[in-house]
Structure 1
Amino acid sequence: MSESQESATAAANTETAASTETNPPEAASNAVGAEAAPAAADKTKEEAATGEAQEAAKAPPPNQALVEAMEKFRALGQKAFVLGASGEVGKEVVKELCKSKIFSKVAVIGRRELKYEDDLYKEIDLEQKIVNFDELESKHEDDFKGYDVGYCCLGTTKGKAGVEGFKKVDHDYVVSSAKLAKAGGCKHFNLVTSQGTNKNSMFLYPKTKGLCEEHVQEQGFQRFSVYRPGMLLCDREEKRTFEAVFRKLVKPMEYFAPTWGTAPTVSVAKAMINNTVTASDKASEILTNKDIRILAGDVKK
């Protein structure tokens, strides 16, 4: 600071001090204001806390039955595998498994290694197994041994893989995986197909999905759960022009009629996890889009 600046500052400080001494009411007022400031801050904090409490009161209470079911299931120390973890639903399934921690170990079985760098994925024992789906039954039998529950989210499109490629991925790979899983001790197999699935359809997509469901069911799992979501809502890394346009058109329905024909991928994943820990006496079950949204906690029954 220069000499002239120091002089000006000193003069200003002297003037302020003099003003305080010659105007005691103002000084008193400043003192009161200084004392009132902490009180005002405390009041603001109190109001903020009250607001948070009110917001918390508005939030839906946790599903206590589901919480207890998860705790009971977690105590079993079971193991699970996930197929199709690079897809949109599969990604969310892995995330939800890491969050819920209902399994002692989770294996991601796929054709390539995936990156799991976030701390979330370090919360559980997560293993990756690289397989050649064209040689599953001849070379990868051991990769499916020792798992109690399986989640299959495998799938592609005709536009990407062609007709034969679509059949191979959405039917052949799924059925072969189910065979090895059953032989390896899997008791509960969860399969994602689609709304409108019908093995008797004249159209490729619903027919292939329908035949896949039938042939997996033939493996004789203790429990076989099929999830048939509607249009999946997500931000795909893979751009599909038709789906992107259609998704925008149906988005208003998500607000007015959430169970009608759309399902966020995270909702499908949550439904699969919640259904896994929920006891059932059904050997086979088909869960519709509405069932999925209810299981995920998006809507009430």
Structure 2
Amino acid sequence: MQDNFRVVFLGATGAVGSQALKQLLSFNNVSRILSLGRRPVEIDTIPTYLEQVKIDIHQPSSYADQVHDCDIAICTLGVGESTKVSKEEFIAIDKTAVINFAKICKDNGVKHFHLLASVGTNSKSMNYYMRTKGELIDELTALNFDSLSIYQPSMILTPTNRYGIVQGIFLVVWPKLDFIFQGSARKYRGIKVDLLGKSMANNISNTRRGVEFLTYDDFIRLQK
């Protein structure tokens, strides 16, 4: 098992990203974490191996020369509530900015790329959100990373309501529906945000090559 992971992270200040970063910081086999973002992460103690670079996600040139000596990339960048922005803005953040980041990672020798996506993504979907995410996954696959891990949660359960009354209702109701989501439908079960972030971080030691799609049961497995 590799004992000197070097990670470049885009989106570490978000709900899932902050949990993944917290888990990474607890590892003793990570020698470098390069956090790229629009604002710094909020933690009490910043270790020497955590580098933070303020960037413009729409301008790859603002960080291209920073992405070096990394073998793992984690991307949790995304619009928190897609209905609150235009389709153009959603595509610019959730697709274009991520592809630009991935291309820079590929050019700089990153071997394993991790993407936070969503259950149901499909480039042929009639839903523009699912279609955009599906197109993103198709483009990432075409980049031919040694390993590509796609995380596909359903409802992400956060401790607090961040986006208004609709999310508030889902946060209360969704966990009560686990008895409905059985068999192949288990992938639609809600996952606590800290468990999802932890599973992404724990999976950096995965040596499997090729593309893998991870859903609810995989997130639970990766807690062990």
Q: TM exceeds 0.5? A: yes
Shift of 1:289: 2.1
Structure 2 match to 1:291: 218
CA distance in 2, matches of 1:255, 1:234: 20
Asked if 1:271 is matched to 2:194, the reply is: no
Shift of 1:178: 0.1
Structure 2 match to 1:262: 190
> Which among 151, 165, 170 is matched to residue 227 of structure 1?
151
Structure 2 match to 1:90: 17
Partner AA of 1:161 in structure 2: V
Structure 1 match to 2:2: 73
Partner AA of 2:153 in structure 1: P
Q: Secondary structure at the match of 1:200?
A: coil
Q: Secondary structure at the match of 1:191?
A: strand
**RMSD of aligned Cα (Å):** 2.0
1:284 to 1:249, Cα distance in 2 relative to 1, 3 A: same
Q: Secondary structure at the match of 1:104?
A: strand
CA distance in 1, matches of 2:113, 2:94: 16
Q: Report Cα offsets for 1:78-128 as digits up to 9, x if no partner.
A: 3101111121100001100011233101111111223322x4x43x61110
TM-score by length of 1: 0.68
Asked if 1:203 is matched to 2:127, the reply is: yes
Q: Report Cα offsets for 1:256-279 as digits up to 9, x if no partner.
A: 869442111121122222222132
Q: Secondary structure at the match of 1:205?
A: helix
Partner AA of 2:12 in structure 1: A
1:240 to 1:102, Cα distance in 2 relative to 1, 3 A: farther
Shift of 1:181: 0.6
CA distance in 2, matches of 1:219, 1:73: 23
Give the stretch that moved more between structures: 222-231 or 238-247: 238-247
Structure 1 match to 2:71: 148
Alignment size in residue pairs: 219
CA contact (8 A) 2:175 2:189 kept: no
CA contact (8 A) 2:78 2:93 kept: yes
Which protein is richer in strand relative to its size? Answer: 2
Unmatched segments (≥5 aa) in structure 2: none
Identity rate, percent: 27
Q: Secondary structure at the match of 1:106?
A: strand
TM-score by length of 2: 0.89
Shift of 1:160: 3.0
1:96 to 1:144, Cα distance in 2 relative to 1, 3 A: same
CA distance in 1, matches of 2:69, 2:27: 21
Which protein is richer in helix relative to its size? Answer: 1
CA contact (8 A) 2:158 2:171 kept: no
Structure 2 match to 1:11: none
CA contact (8 A) 1:158 1:165 kept: no
Structure 2 match to 1:181: 105
CA contact (8 A) 2:21 2:201 kept: no
CA distance in 2, matches of 1:93, 1:255: 28
Unmatched segments (≥5 aa) in structure 1: 1-71
Q: Secondary structure at the match of 1:274?
A: helix
